[in-house]
Chains A and B, each alone.
Chain A
Amino acid sequence: MRKKSVSGGSAAEFESLLRPHLRHLYQTAYRFTGTRADAEDLVQDVLVKLYPRLSELRTVDQLRPWVTRVLYRVFVDEWRRRGRRGEQVEAVAEEGAETGADPMDRLPSVSPGPEEETQSSLIRTRLAAALGTLNPEQRAVVALHDMEGYTLEELSSLLDCPTGTLKSRLHRARARLRVELDMEPLSALERVEG
């Protein structure tokens, strides 16, 4: 099948339309996937899918939510296809941390250190693993709602999904995280689900 082609001038237009949103796409992709490599793969997949849709891109009033929705759909489809779950978690170096250090090296050390710092590091490390156990829809709603700060109403519009469905998904995702983090369940239902 012949692929749609875009002229050189339009290629420049594609870049000018998308470039302002690349940082947002990448960082959202990172929140979805948890690793730089997977975030880059995801953004790459999205751009490859968007390029032939330049004429559609031109007509979109608010491009950021539109491309975020595409990112979400590609993530869910691709993650499900790849069967990725419970793996590929990565901590990001804190400011001042040694570049290139193995994330596992940042596990809490047995050597003495500020208690809060150790606790914070422990939470991040365990949280990364816990996030890896969520299914892609749960992971995405946690990323968008609890990390990025979208409201459920905003997400309902963004993802074209009923608020009740998103709320239920978020509730189950948090319950799963609490189980993985050995937190006390908030309800009997969580104990059953866990």
Chain B
Amino acid sequence: MNRCEHIAHRLDDYLDGHLDGAGRDAVEVHLNGCADCRRRLAEARDLRAALRAWPVPEPDPAFLRQALEQAKGVHRRGPSRPVLAAALAATLALGLALGLFMGTSDTSVEPSVQVVVLSGEHTETVHLVFHATRAVPDAEIQLSIPAHLELSGSPGVRDLRWHAELSEGANLLALPLAALHAGEDYLEASINYNGKEQRVRVALRVPHAPADGSAGPRSGLHFESIDPV
């Protein structure tokens, strides 16, 4: 090992302050006379500076609330009835990120043309299908739950936002919804990626309890909500 290699091998320790006085002096004497090792030292410093300056985002408060509820919900009900699990599991299942936005418009809205009638008697699952024309690494998905419904396991949570990766093709988002009371309002979902947005609105109706019980439950409702652009 020549002198430069010997010194270069100790530069990390030198920068980390792990050398004793004699070791530090030896490195500095060599650095004074060696431009190559000074360059190596500068690069090592640059790397450290870049790591220290690594930007880290603040957590989304809505996510933190949901995460706590999810943790409690999983253990209250067991994994077979996940709370936000619909959304979060979808995050995992959707898996992996986005590619819808091939159009020229920054925002596209699919107006609701359907009214989905829920029985209001028990939790029913509404499926939203997001068609992605290509895989997308980090899509932001937002969901707004109407006031007469709640996402099973997430009581009181009206707005959800999380990041997910979408696979090319159909990505399924299963929403187990429980009725709080009769009513009709829109569930809104949007996907944002690369400054573009797609939104969809689905009218969800929970009728007043019929006297003859004729409005039977409709679980597993499947709503193709967003088409590729």
Asked if A15 CB lies within 8 Å of chain B CBs, one says yes
Q: Are A19 and B47 in contact (CB under 8 A)?
A: no
Specify which of B1, B40, B57, B71 is in contact with A186 (CB 8 Å cutoff): B40
| Assembled-state Cα–Cα distance A35/B39 (Å) | 32
Q: Are B75 and A3 in contact (CB under 8 A)?
A: yes
Asked if B164 CB lies within 8 Å of chain A CBs, one says yes
Known: A35-B138, A36-B163, A40-B163. A47 touches B55 (CB 8 A): no
The A/B interface has a contact count, at CB < 8 Å, of 154
Asked if A161 CB lies within 8 Å of chain B CBs, one says no
Q: What is the distance, in angstroms, from B30's C-beta to the closest C-beta of chain A?
A: 13
Q: Are B11 and A186 in contact (CB under 8 A)?
A: yes
The interface size bin for chain A is: 35 or more
Specify which of A14, A37, A50, A124 is in contact with B50 (CB 8 Å cutoff): A124
List which A162-194 residues lie within 8 A (CB) of chain B: 167, 170-171, 174, 177-178, 181, 183-189
With a cutoff of 8 Å between Cβ atoms, the chain B residues found around residue A157 in the complex are none
Asked if A74 CB lies within 8 Å of chain B CBs, one says no
Asked if B35 CB lies within 8 Å of chain A CBs, one says no
Q: What is the distance, in angstroms, from B50's C-beta to the closest C-beta of chain A?
A: 5
Q: Are A100 and B67 in contact (CB under 8 A)?
A: no
Asked if B3 CB lies within 8 Å of chain A CBs, one says no
| Assembled-state Cα–Cα distance A98/B192 (Å) | 13
With a cutoff of 8 Å between Cβ atoms, the chain A residues found around residue B39 in the complex are 184
Asked if A4 CB lies within 8 Å of chain B CBs, one says yes
Specify which of B56, B163, B193 is in contact with A37 (CB 8 Å cutoff): B163
Known: A98-B195, A186-B40, A188-B5. A127 touches B54 (CB 8 A): yes
Q: What is the distance, in angstroms, from A138's C-beta to the closest C-beta of chain B?
A: 13
List which B38-83 residues lie within 8 A (CB) of chain A: 39-40, 43-44, 46-48, 50-52, 54-60, 63-64, 67-68, 70-72, 74-76, 78
Q: What is the distance, in angstroms, from A104's C-beta to the closest C-beta of chain B?
A: 9
Q: What is the distance, in angstroms, from A33's C-beta to the closest C-beta of chain B?
A: 11
Specify which of B9, B47, B71 is in contact with A177 (CB 8 Å cutoff): B47
| Assembled-state Cα–Cα distance A11/B91 (Å) | 25
Specify which of A22, A183, A189 is in contact with B47 (CB 8 Å cutoff): A183
List which B13-52 residues lie within 8 A (CB) of chain A: 16, 18, 36, 39-40, 43-44, 46-48, 50-52
Top 6 A-B pairs ranked by shortest CB distance?
A47-B71, A26-B59, A37-B163, A187-B9, A146-B51, A92-B55
Chain A contact residues, CB within 8 Å of chain B: 3-6, 11, 14-15, 18-19, 22-23, 26-27, 30-31, 35-37, 39-41, 43-44, 47-48, 50-52, 88, 90-94, 98, 100-103, 105, 123-124, 127, 142, 146-147, 149, 152, 167, 170-171, 174, 177-178, 181, 183-189
5 contacts between A and B (CB under 8 A): A37-B97, A48-B71, A102-B195, A186-B40, A188-B5
